[in-house]
Amino acid sequence: MTIRTMVVDDEPLGRERISALLAEEPDVEVVAECGDGRSAVEAVRREQPHLIFLDVQMPEEDGCFVM
């Protein structure tokens, strides 16, 4: 089973680093990368990931947003 994963972080370098580490895992697929809460909510609804790496301190909407 492939683990469908999302990376949400307002810092591009943070997203890139986590995605690079995940790319080394054969059973993990990064289905979306998002830089803000609004796009993250849309991506969760669209992609229905199994796992989300979520920055909880972001401008505007933080990592505690309501789905």
| Structural domains for the chain | 3-54 (3.40.50.2300)
Q: Is 31 left (phi over 0), alpha (psi -120 to 50) or beta?
A: alpha
pLDDT band with cut points at 50, 70 and 90 for residue 64: low
Instruction: Give the pTM.
Output: 0.86
Phi-psi category of residue 47: left, alpha or beta, with phi > 0 → left and psi -120 to 50 → alpha: alpha
Contact indicator for 5, 14 with CB cutoff of 8 Å = no
How confident is the model over 6-62, as pLDDT tens digits?
Answer: 999 999 999 999 999 999 999 999 999 999 888 998 999 999 999 999 887 776 665
